[in-house]
Structure 1
Amino acid sequence: MSDLGTLAVIFDLDGTLVDSEPNYYEASRRTLAEHGVPGFTWTDHEGYVGVSTLETVTIWRERYGLRVPVAELLAAMNRRYLDLARAHTRAYPEMRKFVELLAAENVPMAVASGSSPQAIDAILAGTGLAAFLRTVVSSDAVPHGKPAPDVFLEAARRLGAAPADCVVLEDAAPGAAAAHAAGMRCVAIPYVPAQAGAPEFATADLLLRGGQAEFTAQSAYTWLRDTAR
């Protein structure tokens, strides 16, 4: 048995495993501009980090008074994002090392994301992470997205792991809240370090306030080993 015992690890994708937020921002900016909403800024985008694409476009429709159907907005957003994701997505180097460390110990792993299944598959394939992360759950597959716990509970079910044996890695407040609601431990790596004081992050078992700049594969592995149940 591994030093990590019965542990299973569930990764959020965007902003946690890979730096995909610039692609989501650009896809958002172009989609909104097409529908008469210019000037969407990176600061505006930060408010949607951790929110599913479906929920994001639903909010846009009300916030900006858009008359286009949600399904049409979602399709346009996903199409633009996929084009960008295939060409430009970068896996965080220390996260890649961490995945490889866990794989070497045969630790069960999954990805649980608010992105579409097509986006998740494209990113994992393009970054080479698909070789290690074969269990994938999109919020499209469950009744409710984050901050509801559904996507994490479904990932645990597919891994055959008890929620209490799962550790979630998350970059966004809704994801940290979802992990807590699922009864799972959480390593929080805020994508926007200025948001590290959000109350949802206070429920995390390990909070790296500096975000990815503070994350290393070895220190995360050591923490998991030292806190293994």
Structure 2
Amino acid sequence: MSNLGTLSVIFDLDGTLVDSEPNYYEAGRLTLAEHGVPEYTWAEHERYIGISTLDTILDWRRRYDLRAPMAELLAAKNRRYLELARAHTRAYPEMRKLVELLATEGVPMAVASGSSPEAIAAVLAGTGLDAHLRTLVSADEVAHGKPAPDVFLEAARRLGARPADCVVVEDAAPGAAAAHAAGMRCIALPYVPDQADGPEFATAGLLVRGGQAEFTARAAYDWLTRTTRTP
């Protein structure tokens, strides 16, 4: 058992462990351009941060009046994203340090993401994080994506952990809301710092208001040490 007691940690992937949002934006921009939406901006992309790819495309079809079938749009976006992800995804250094600290302590860990299973596996393999993160849950595998708690509850189930013993690490408002709904504590580091005052982040046990620019593995680890009950 870990020196951190029965603690388990569940990481979001995109924008939390890795800097993948630029790849998602570019994959989305190219896909939309192919279907007659030439001016897709980063500001428009920000509304989808933390939302599953499936839910993103459902909204695209309504918002941009797209006629292409869901399956075609989903396959096109995933294909473009995987091409970019395999070549250009960077793990955040402080997040890598936190994963390594927790691995040293023997803390069970999982990744729960709105990305497809293929994208999660490709990113973790490409960054080497798969050495420590082997329990993976995609929103594609559960009934509802974030802000519903399904992905986090499934991750806890696969880890054999009680939700109350889990801490979620998240960058997006839907993920923070999902952690709260799952009955889990949350370390939140908003990908868009201007969103830090949102009600979803108010439920976080540790809120790093400046996002990745202010996050340190040591501060997160020390907070876990102070707040986790040990036998």
Query: Does the TM-score normalized on the shorter chain lie above 0.5?
Result: yes
Q: Percent identity?
A: 79
**Can you give the 5+ residue segments of structure 2 that lack an aligned partner in the other structure?**
none
Give 2:63's aligned residue: 63
Partner-residue secondary structure (3-state), 1:14: coil
Give 2:186's aligned residue: 186
Give 1:85's aligned residue: 85
**Can you give the 5+ residue segments of structure 1 that lack an aligned partner in the other structure?**
none
Mapped partners of 1:165, 1:62: distance in 2: 39
Partner-residue secondary structure (3-state), 1:199: coil
Shift of 1:198: 1.1
Give 1:128's aligned residue: 128
Letter in structure 2 aligned against 1:214: E
Give 2:168's aligned residue: 168
Shift of 1:36: 0.4
Give 1:152's aligned residue: 152
Aligned-residue RMSD, C-alpha = 0.6
Mapped partners of 1:187, 1:71: distance in 2: 34
Shift of 1:71: 1.0
The aligned runs of 1:32-111 (5 Å cut-off) are: 32-111=32-111
Give 1:203's aligned residue: 203
Letter in structure 2 aligned against 1:68: A
Q: Which portions of structure 1, spanning 4 or more consecutive aligned residues, are displaced by more than 6 angstroms?
A: none
TM-score by length of 2: 0.98
Mapped partners of 1:219, 1:75: distance in 2: 40
Mapped partners of 2:148, 2:125: distance in 1: 27
Mapped partners of 2:219, 2:211: distance in 1: 14
Partner-residue secondary structure (3-state), 1:177: helix
Shift of 1:146: 0.4
Mapped partners of 1:175, 1:146: distance in 2: 6
